[in-house]
Each structure stands twice: as C-alpha cells, then as structure tokens.
Structure 1
Amino acid sequence: MAAGFFQANTVDPILSNVPVPSKLFQQHEPIWLVRFLNASANTFAVNIEVDQNAFAINSRFGTVSNYEPVSDGFHTITVRRASGISNILLQRSFPFSAEQRYTVVLTDNASGGLDMIQVPATGCNTFNYNTGCYRVANMSYSGSSYDVMLYNTHSVVFRGLNYQSVSSYKQAAAGSYQFYLTNSSTGSLMQELPA
C-alpha cells in the first residue's frame, strides 16, 4: 500500500455504485456480492476463484475486481499464480450472508506468504441530507500502525490503525477531503512505500 496523500469523496461512496452482476441466479435464490482487492506486494499476477469459478483474473497489486454474486453460505476462495505453475498459493473458506456485500482483501502475511481478510460492507446510515460515510483499512505490511490525519487541519481522523484492521465508519458532509498517514508510534509523516 502506498502511504501518503489520498482523497475521499463523500458524495459518491465506493459501495453505493454496485455494477450489474455478470453471473445470473434464480430470482428466489438469496445472493451475496463479493469483490477482491489485491493488496499483496507480490511481483506476479494471481487468479482468484470462488468454489472453482474464476472471479479475478490476472490480479496485481492495487487492483479491485467488480462485485459478483454467489449464493449465501460457506465458500472456498482459492488464489493461484496467473501464469506458469498454477499451484494453489492460498485457500480459505469464508461464511457469507444473503443480501450482503463483502470485499475480500489479499494481503501479505508476516512470514512472506499470503493471507486473506474478509471485510463486510455493513453500511453506514446517513440520516442527514448531503452526508456520506467513509472508513479506512491498513493492509500495508505486518507490524505497521498508522494514524489517519485530515490534511487541512492536521487533526486525527482515525488513530492506531493496525495491520489488517478496518476502521469503523465515520460521517462527513459532502465534499472532497485530503488525508495523510503518520506512523502511530512516532507521529512522523509516512513516505511512499516501495512496492
């Protein structure tokens, strides 16, 4: 993950615009939607499958797939190299609930292998007109911990965001915001991390 400046726009939250699913299901069958974020710093592309069905092909660091539906229940997610020997690099099962959206994040683990984190999109109720919700996740590297700061006021928005953790939702008025990351233990500005 590149640490530095990033922006959030509360008028158009990421989870509000779900693309039309490409896999069709019977209308009476409950479904969940899943997408994949590749936050692993591997130098090679991977293919991600759900129950042996391809979902993310040639996924590289920083790519996010479209949402795709699958029925609720437990499903096995498999990660393989996209080219060359396609041995299984990682395989895990996750529970999914009907009518929910999930992002499954492919990350690096402390020992140099891969890991997956399931992040439910539980949503945020915005009762006020012209507001939106946002949250952040730290998928950079093992042992990292960041504070997320609002650029123009230098105030802390999220404190002590540890590796593989996801913040709670916060509300903000519609608009564009700039944030930056600092190391939680030192408060120093984080520089671009090598990929």
Structure 2
Amino acid sequence: MFICPYYSYESFYRMPEIDPISYIRFLNASPNSPAIDVYLNDRRIFKNLTYKSFSDYVSVPSGVYNIKIFPSGNNLNPILDKRLPISAGKIFTMSSIGNYPNMGLLSIEDVRRPKIPGKAFIRFVHLSPDAPSVDVKLPNGNVLFPNVSYKGVTRYLPVSPGKYTLEVFTSDSGKKVLYIPNIRIIPNRFYSVYAVGNVSRDPKLQVLIPLDGNSYLH
C-alpha cells in the first residue's frame, strides 16, 4: 500500500480541500492471458492475477504512474508498459483487455456520486474483445443500456433493490448472447456488470459483478 502524507497550508483564504489519495484495483479481463503481476513505478502491487480475478483496492497518491504487466513470476519482458495519470480523490478499476500477448489497459473510474436513500446503482462495462455492440435489457424488453460497444462504460443507473434478470443482445442482429438471472441488488451500493470472454470461441462470454469501491471507500 502506498501512503502519502497530507499537508495543510494556511493562507489569508482557504481553498477547497481535495483528498490527494486515490484508490485503484486491477482486473485481468484478457481471456487467454496467463496469470499476471502488475507493477506500479517498478514496484509490484498485484501478484498472480488469473483471468477474471480482481485485486483488492490499494491507496495511491495522485500523479502519473508507469504501469507494467508481466507474466506472473517474470519481471524481464513486460506484456504491457504504459504511463497513466491518476487524478486526486478518485477510485479506479484498471483492467487488462484484449488478447494475449497484444493486451491493452483500460482505466475505468468508479465514479463517486451522492447515494439515493433506498436505491442502488448499476452500470455495464463491455470488455469482450470479439463481441459487437450490445443492448442490455430486462426480460420485459425494457432497455437499460443501449448500444454498448467494446470498451464502453455506461453511466450508473439508479434502481430499486431486489433480484434482477438481465438479457444481453447484439445491437445489430438482436441475437441473445447472455442471460443473467438472479442478480441480487442491495440498497446504497454501486455495481458494475463486466462482460468478459468471447462470443465466438472459448472462454465463452460471461459476466462479473463486483461491488464497486465507491460503495464503501471515502
């Protein structure tokens, strides 16, 4: 965990305070990748993340970071080497995307927003490298998230708590590619439905539904 001391400066007037600490976690969403290690400024922060695995969140000071991904146990030839800004007071899910060895990195902000009493928030994240744009619907045909393309991240949608079934269709042909029953939604929580895997080959398309950090990180 990275810790940054907080300094306050006195002046004739007080500027609004911005928390200098942000939080990041990592998702390995590359369908055919080996287990990976993630380095931040040449320091390993996440170890042995297999496909579909999420790390815990770690705190980091804001700044520009060098992120490297290696096959687990190897730190000589990175699969990915990228510089990435991390803004102050934010929460991010960093995700490996694409197919190994041509992997990319997608930074997904877990947006902080006021909670609505008695409501939860849900969004959809399209990380399937060979899937076309999709529509996410309820069984009654109501469209929650239309025309979400690869690497697309929708806005959070407020919903009432309860159990939900989602159906995912290709936007162009209307073919159903996913059926997701019995998603349990608890009030005052933020959820992302991550679509990972492939439509045309193994590993097949499926979803991951973690609790996002904006539910409990302050």
The yes-or-no answer on 1:26 pairing with 2:5 is yes
Q: Which residue identity lines up with residue 173 of structure 2 in the other structure?
A: T
Query: Alignment partner for residue 138 of structure 1, among 126, 145, 152?
Result: 126
Q: For residues 37 and 80 of structure 1, what CA distance do their matches in structure 2 show?
A: 14
The yes-or-no answer on 1:123 pairing with 2:91 is no
Q: For residues 30 and 140 of structure 1, what CA distance do their matches in structure 2 show?
A: 33
Q: SS in structure 2 opposite 1:136?
A: strand
- When the two chains are superposed, the root-mean-square deviation of aligned CA atoms in Å is 2.2
| Structure 1: 4+ residue segments shifted above 3 A | 22-25, 83-86
Partners of 1:23 and 1:69 within 8 A in 2? yes
Query: Alignment partner for residue 69 of structure 1, among 42, 59, 63?
Result: 59
Q: Deviations over 1:23-71 (max 9, x none)?
A: 4443448211000111101241111111112122111110011100111
Partners of 1:39 and 1:107 within 8 A in 2? yes
Q: For residues 47 and 112 of structure 1, what CA distance do their matches in structure 2 show?
A: 14
Q: For residues 174 and 69 of structure 1, what CA distance do their matches in structure 2 show?
A: 30
List gaps (5 residues or longer) in structure 1.
1-21
Partners of 1:47 and 1:81 within 8 A in 2? yes
Partners of 2:33 and 2:101 within 8 A in 1? no
**Greater relative contact order (Cα < 8 A, sep 6+):** 1
Query: Who is 1:88 aligned against?
Result: 78
Comparing 33-42 with 111-120, greater Cα deviation is found at 111-120
User: Identity of paired residues, percent?
Assistant: 22
The yes-or-no answer on 1:79 pairing with 2:95 is no
Comparing 25-34 with 179-188, greater Cα deviation is found at 25-34
List gaps (5 residues or longer) in structure 2.
8-18, 179-197, 204-218
Q: For residues 105 and 85 of structure 1, what CA distance do their matches in structure 2 show?
A: 19
**C-alpha spacing 1:96/1:167, structure 2 compared with 1 (3 Å):** same
**C-alpha spacing 1:171/1:89, structure 2 compared with 1 (3 Å):** same
Task: Give the structure-2-normalised TM-score.
Answer: 0.71
Deviation at 1:176, TM superposition (A): 2.3
